[in-house]
């Protein structure tokens, strides 16, 4: 059982099924988990002012301790999310944002009564979905899958019994037993409407498309687990071998959509959801096969192509403005002289300096 009935944070990579899990839990009569907010970006920004040597922990200059400041942040964000939950007649709030896998330790510190539900999916399924929906290359998507799930495993094992891991494929194939175990771990009563989230979301007035283009109207479809194999090429299967050790730790054969259903379940218990403490034991037995301390670079950003294009244009304009500044132009002229250009360049540089002084 989870230690408290604090907030519920759903964490996992993009395209891992985290939105579907969010919609299911949001269908419980006691739990409200709304659209993604990315609020931890604001929490961390509040604690560290950029481009200033005193920026990190600036509040300590005013005699605020880390614990005091965390408590104030906790009060504020609890108020924000609790109001959302109360507006839907619910008493418990939660949140789901994919990139929060990077911030789980900070979230646990700010919200000491929070619990975390991690969700993982076969790397082939995640990579195929990212390629189809967001035009990423299969190789880049696999790098993202590896980086995100290493973050998830590291943080989850450190959280111990405040964390449980759910596999997307298990949730599809064994929906009711998996959800019954999860709801019991959350300390909530079973609700049959968890099996009808597509109907509940319609009743609650949810938009047809949730974050990541997930439909709120579609029932759970077990065929989604292996759908990625239809378009997987030989090159895709070859690329999947590069993430095989971590995939194996999570109970997958990288090139096979089937799940090793017995690997993460506790023998003789009929359980589906290992806790962080149980994963920590498994992690030690896999230490020679998986470098859990590796921090691979991920090339993926959770932004639209249009937004990314706008960012690039803004950066180019800022660079152009910077290049027109007098100091840069003077420096360019001096460098030209140093590389054997004519004295005319240095005269032009001095003219700029005099004009600036005058």
Q: How confident is the model at residue 309 (pLDDT cuts 50, 70, 90)?
A: low
Residue 155 CA from chain centroid, whole number? 12
Percent of the chain residues past pLDDT 70, beyond the cut: 80
Task: Report d(CA 177, CA 183) in Å as an integer.
Answer: 10
Q: How confident is the model at residue 271 (pLDDT cuts 50, 70, 90)?
A: confident
Whether the Cβ atoms of residue 59 and residue 225 lie closer than 8 Å to each other: no
User: Higher-confidence residue: 84 or 207?
Assistant: 84
Which structural domains are found in the chain, ordered by start? 8-301 (3.40.50.300), 308-357 (no CATH)
Q: How confident is the model at residue 300 (pLDDT cuts 50, 70, 90)?
A: low
Structure token digits, residue 97:
């944002």
User: Higher-confidence residue: 128 or 348?
Assistant: 128
User: Higher-confidence residue: 190 or 351?
Assistant: 190
Task: Report d(CA 212, CA 173) in Å as an integer.
Answer: 22
For 7-29, give one letter per residue: b (16+ CB within 10 A) or e: bbbbbbbbbbbbbbbbbbbbbbe
Identify the pLDDT of residue 42: 97
Identify the pLDDT of residue 96: 97
Mean pLDDT of 55-60: 96
Task: Report d(CA 205, CA 276) in Å as an integer.
Answer: 35
Whether the Cβ atoms of residue 27 and residue 83 lie closer than 8 Å to each other: no
Q: How confident is the model at residue 29 (pLDDT cuts 50, 70, 90)?
A: very high
User: Higher-confidence residue: 350 or 96?
Assistant: 96
Identify the pLDDT of residue 183: 97
Residue range 153-175, pLDDT digits in tens: 999 999 999 999 999 999 999 99
Task: Report H helices in the chain.
Answer: 18-26, 39-47, 66-86, 104-110, 123-134, 138-159, 168-173, 175-185, 197-203, 234-240, 244-249, 276-285, 305-323, 326-338, 343-357
| Three-state SS annotation for 66-115 | HHHHHHHHHHHHHHHHHHHHHCCCCCEEEEECHHHHHHHHHHHHHCCCCE
Please check the confidence at residue 323 and state whether its pLDDT lies above 70: no
Please check the confidence at residue 1 and state whether its pLDDT lies above 50: no
pTM of the model: 0.82
Q: How confident is the model at residue 3 (pLDDT cuts 50, 70, 90)?
A: very low
118 forms beta bridges with: 11, 165
């Amino acid at each position: 059982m989870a230690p408290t009935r604090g907030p519920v944070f759903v964490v996992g990579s993009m395209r891992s099924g985290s939105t579907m899990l969010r919609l299911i839990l949001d269908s419980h009569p006691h739990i409200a988990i709304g659209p993604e907010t990315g609020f931890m970006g604001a929490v961390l920004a509040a604690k560290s002012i950029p481009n200033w040597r005193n920026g990190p922990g600036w509040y300590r200059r005013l005699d605020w301790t880390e614990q005091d400041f965390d408590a104030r942040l906790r009060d504020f964000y609890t108020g924000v999310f609790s109001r959302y939950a109360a507006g839907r007649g619910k008493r418990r709030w939660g949140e789901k944002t994919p990139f929060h896998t990077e911030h789980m330790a900070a979230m646990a510190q700010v919200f000491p009564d929070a619990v975390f539900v991690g969700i993982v999916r076969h790397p082939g399924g995640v990579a195929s979905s990212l390629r189809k929906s967001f035009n990423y290359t299969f190789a880049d998507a696999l790098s993202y899958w590896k980086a995100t799930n290493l973050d998830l495993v590291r943080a989850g094992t450190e959280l111990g019994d405040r964390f449980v891991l759910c596999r997307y494929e298990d949730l599809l194939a064994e929906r009711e037993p998996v959800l019954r175990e999860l709801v019991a771990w959350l300390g909530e009563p079973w609700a049959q409407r968890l099996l009808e989230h597509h109907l509940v979301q319609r009743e609650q007035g949810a938009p047809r498309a949730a974050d990541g283009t997930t439909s709120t109207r579609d029932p759970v479809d077990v065929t989604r687990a292996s759908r990625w194999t239809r378009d997987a090429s030989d090159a895709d299967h070859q690329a999947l071998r590069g993430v095989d050790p971590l995939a194996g730790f999570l109970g997958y054969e990288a090139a096979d959509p089937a799940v090793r259903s017995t690997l993460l379940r506790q023998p003789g218990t009929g359980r589906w959801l290992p806790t962080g403490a149980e994963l920590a034991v498994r992690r030690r037995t896999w230490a020679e096969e998986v470098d859990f301390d590796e921090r691979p670079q991920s090339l993926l950003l959770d932004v639209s192509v249009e937004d990314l294009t706008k960012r690039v244009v803004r950066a180019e304009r800022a660079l152009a403005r910077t290049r027109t500044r007098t100091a840069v132009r003077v420096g360019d002229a001096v460098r030209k002289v140093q590389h054997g250009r004519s004295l005319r360049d240095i005269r032009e540089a001095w003219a700029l300096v005099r004009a600036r002084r005058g």
